[in-house]
Amino acid sequence: MVSYRRARVAGACYFLTLTLQDRTREWLVQHSDALREALRQVIFERPCRVPAAVVLPDHLHLLMLLPEGDVDYSSRVRYFKSFFVQALRDKGVPVTLNEKGEANVWQRRFWEHLIRDEVDFAAHVDYIHANPLKHGLVGRVRDWPLSSFHRYVARGIVPVDWCGSGAGYIGRAGE
């Protein structure tokens, strides 16, 4: 078995990418209510903060800020995936199993990056918020509804026309 090396820093912030196994499915946007509820369950059971997130049809990006002394983002990801799969089943979505008995919903692995500093944090918030534009899903960042971008606008952190007008953004960690 391959041993994956993952960064483990207590109380750190991590950039995570989770992807559907079948990239032609649009389950994440079609069932965004179930995805949101799965995240709420994880935060309730294993407290953490999500300073930024975006949901696209076949993958999602988020920043996960762990509590002091906690290094376990992997179990949170596992719970999140499980809660979403169960929600799909509860909605009657046909979820098949692979030869190992696992649901054929998510890719087995996920991408993780340890946020190093304020500049790295800001760059990843920008990446998250610009992602729907990058994938050609919208012409303006503000037109994608499944993004924490709207929370940043409401708090006055970025202007509503950010990234559509050439305006830049440097955020602060933990916002």
pLDDT of residue 2: 56
Digitized pLDDT (tens) for each residue of the chain, 175 residues in all: 555 677 889 999 999 999 999 999 999 999 999 999 999 999 999 999 999 999 999 999 999 999 999 999 999 999 999 999 999 999 999 999 988 888 999 998 999 999 999 999 999 999 999 999 999 999 999 999 999 999 999 999 999 999 864 344 343 333 3
The structural domains of the chain, ordered by start, are: 13-116 (3.30.70.1290)
Measured distance CA(22)–CA(79) in Å, rounded:
20
Distances (CA, A) of 98 to 1, 46, 77, 108: 18, 28, 20, 11
| Whether the predicted model's global pTM rises above the 0.85 cut | yes
CB 115 within 8 A of CB 123: no
Amino acid at 52: A
Q: Are strands 111-114 and 49-55 parallel, antiparallel or unpaired?
A: unpaired
Short-list 114, 113, 94, 116, CA closest to 105: 94
Q: Which residue has the tokens 């509860």?
A: 90
Q: Which residue has the tokens 């199993």?
A: 97
CB 162 within 8 A of CB 140: no
CB 158 within 8 A of CB 149: yes
Kindly report the length of the chain: 175
